[in-house]
Amino acid sequence: MKEPRARALMIQGTASGVGKSAVVTALCRLFRREGNRVAPFKAVNMSLNAGVTASGGEMGRAQIVQAEAAGVFPDVRMNPILLKPVAGEGMQVIARGAAVGLLTADEFVARRAWTWDLIADAYRELAATHELLILEGMGGPAEVNLRETDLANMRVAALAEAPVLLVADMAFGGAFAALLGTFLLLPPEEQDRVAGFVLNRYAGDRSLLTPAIEDLERRTTRPVLGVLPWQAELALPEEDSASLRDPGRGRAAQLRVGIAWLPHLSNFDEFGPLTREPDVAVTYLRVPEEVPRCDAVILPGSRATAADLAHLRRCRMAEAIRTFAEEGGHVVGICGGYQMLGRRLRDPDGVEGKGETEGLNFLPVETVFAVEKVARPIRVSAGPLFGPGGPDGIVGYEIHHGCVRVEPGTSPALLTASGEAEGARTQDGRAWGSAVHGLFQDDHFRRAWLNTLRAGRGLPPLPPRTEDREVIFDAWADCVKAHSEWPRIRRLALGQ
């Protein structure tokens, strides 16, 4: 097979959630602006935040965003292995965009030879058609117990012959210890690949870091090549729900939207634009006492719908949401949340676990899980929800195993581009559900829905607030360039 010809630079981190994905996104945009044919690559991604390519392949949302920043179409080879944790100890394995089954961690490790071949092939194919690949690691490279089974960090760097920048998060302290400890735990040949460090999410005077930076550089003989400031409004997706902050807590706003916190919460980045609306405070709901304070409650996507529904019942959230709806609150379900709002969920093939689960009975629908997975982009209209003139041409995507059967005569929530009914709603529209992800990322849909909540409070409507992804990419790239040793990073990547 033809050997890779692209150059590469790899971003690794001291742990998950330190900002590797955001740094890769900025670098993809910076190199693109300089005229390079650049693409992202993450060999293995463990995340429930997934998206769908135009060809129907499933991959990590972060890599989709990185591809957009690089100015190329998302390609499943950019994330050849996606692992999606499920209820229990297993995970669903997505290989080159297609679900190949449920495996335990031991079973996945046992298949590492097959997995590595798939990763290496995907990398070589991308390297043959691009000038530069920006690689992203997974977790941290210095987990001693995982070194022998590494498929995502230093083994990928060796394949690509890539220098490595180590990123640490300054937000919660311990960044210098994390960088030094990670570096010292690496064997000498892997230390040789580390070309420098990046400190991320720093909210202070950079000069205060000088003694610590000098100490780190002395101990490791590696430079700190960037101190990136905290960007509270950075509109890029998080990969790990554990890293989500609660943006609405303590914030004064005219509207409060609650998103039910689920153990297997998926595709949570679609609610990011809601958190940036000036009249909205978004709260992740963990206890029932928070529900009555909301104007609307959203049940989000889930990778283990029945198990997460059982969780809502155990913590009395289901009861609180029922009372909230009876008292006039708005309730929305997206994908797995839509399935929860139905009358029952049946799993005859054991996709999540054989059996039947009673739904919350908001909507006259029934879900039957099937082994075959639906993953496709979709275009819809919101006329049924908002009436004539409602937002049209909304581009979203579906990722689900369940087939939702809607009882005849039920009012739809949306219409597909071909005029077919999609989703379901109550007659008053206060409760509705849809299998379509990405609705709240559409500026006009998001504002139309928020204006219905405002009307209920006697507030005047507001115009849509536009989130221009290109502007966001450029602003973040400018920030990284201004707060890093960009010429040195550029030379590392391009060898110039």
pLDDT digits (tens, 9 = 90+) for 170-195: 998 999 999 999 999 999 999 999 99
Domain residue spans in the chain?
7-235+472-494, 246-465
Contact 87, 47 (CB under 8 A): no
150-171 residues labelled b (16+ CB within 10 A) or e (exposed): bbbbbbbbebbebbbbbbbbbe
Contact 179, 168 (CB under 8 A): yes
Q: Sign of the CA dihedral 432, 435, 437, 441?
A: negative
Q: Domain spanning 246-465 has what CATH number?
A: 3.40.50.880
Residues involved in catalysis: 335, 437
**Residue 458: pLDDT band with limits 50, 70, 90:** very high
Asked if residue 1 has pLDDT above 50, the reply is: no
82 — phi, psi (to 5°)?
A: -120, 125
Contact 125, 96 (CB under 8 A): no
pTM value is 0.89
Q: How many CA atoms lie within 13 A of 85 on its CB side?
A: 15
User: In angstroms, what CA-CA distances link 6 with 155, 376, 412, 469?
Assistant: 17, 31, 49, 27
- 250 CB burial (10 A radius; 0-12, 13-18, 19+): exposed
Domains 7-235+472-494 and 246-465 share a fold: yes
**Residue 454: pLDDT band with limits 50, 70, 90:** very high
Contact 335, 117 (CB under 8 A): no
Of 281-285, 287-291, 373-377, 483-487, the least confident: 373-377
Cα separation, 199 vs 145, whole angstroms: 26
Asked if residue 3 has pLDDT above 70, the reply is: no
| Centroid of chain to Cα 335 | 15
Spatial CB neighbours of 59, under 8 Å, sequence gap ≥ 6: 45, 50, 51, 53, 74, 76, 78, 79, 82, 94, 97
Report the pLDDT value the prediction gives residue 218, as an integer from 0 to 100.
98
**Residue 237: pLDDT band with limits 50, 70, 90:** low
| Centroid of chain to Cα 171 | 20
Which residue has tokens 């498929």? 151
Of 71-80, 143-152, 471-480, the least confident: 143-152
Cα separation, 57 vs 69, whole angstroms: 19
45 — phi, psi (to 5°)?
A: -125, 125
Cα separation, 470 vs 28, whole angstroms: 12
Residue 224 has what DSSP assignment? E
pLDDT digits (tens, 9 = 90+) for 162-171: 999 999 999 9
Cα separation, 236 vs 22, whole angstroms: 7
Which residue has tokens 């590595």? 116
Residues in the chain: 496
Cα separation, 299 vs 359, whole angstroms: 13
| Centroid of chain to Cα 385 | 27
pLDDT digits (tens, 9 = 90+) for 300-354: 999 889 999 999 999 999 999 999 999 999 999 999 999 999 999 999 888 877 7
Q: What is the dihedral of CA 47, 62, 440, 433, to 10 degrees?
A: -30
**Nearest C-alpha neighbor of 318 from the set 331, 309, 329:** 309
Which residue has tokens 């204006």? 451
**Residue 392: pLDDT band with limits 50, 70, 90:** very high
Which residue has tokens 């949401």? 321
Overall average pLDDT of the 366-375 stretch? 90
Asked if residue 391 has pLDDT above 90, the reply is: yes
Contact 5, 17 (CB under 8 A): no
Contact 133, 38 (CB under 8 A): yes
Asked if residue 227 has pLDDT above 60, the reply is: yes
**Nearest C-alpha neighbor of 359 from the set 335, 341, 386:** 341
CB neighbourhood size of 373 (10 A): 16
Of 97-111, 229-243, 428-442, the least confident: 229-243
| Centroid of chain to Cα 428 | 32
Contact 336, 435 (CB under 8 A): no
**Nearest C-alpha neighbor of 141 from the set 158, 116, 126, 125:** 158
176 — phi, psi (to 5°)?
A: -70, -40
**Residue 250: pLDDT band with limits 50, 70, 90:** low
136 — phi, psi (to 5°)?
A: -125, 135
Give me the amino acid identity at 341: L
Give me the amino acid identity at 395: V
Report the pLDDT value the prediction gives residue 170, as an integer from 0 to 100.
95
Overall average pLDDT of the 391-396 stretch? 95
User: What is the CATH superfamily name and number for domain 7-235+472-494?
Assistant: P-loop containing nucleotide triphosphate hydrolases (3.40.50.300)
pLDDT digits (tens, 9 = 90+) for 464-483: 999 889 999 999 999 999 99
User: In angstroms, what CA-CA distances link 198 with 53, 176, 463, 482, 485?
Assistant: 31, 10, 39, 13, 10
pLDDT above 90 covers a percentage of the chain that reads 81
Cα separation, 32 vs 69, whole angstroms: 8
For 233-283, the DSSP string reads: T-----S-GGG---TTTT---SEEEEEE--TTEE-GGGGHHHHT-TTEEEE
Asked if residue 438 has pLDDT above 70, the reply is: yes
Asked if residue 365 has pLDDT above 80, the reply is: yes
Report the pLDDT value the prediction gives residue 345, as an integer from 0 to 100.
94
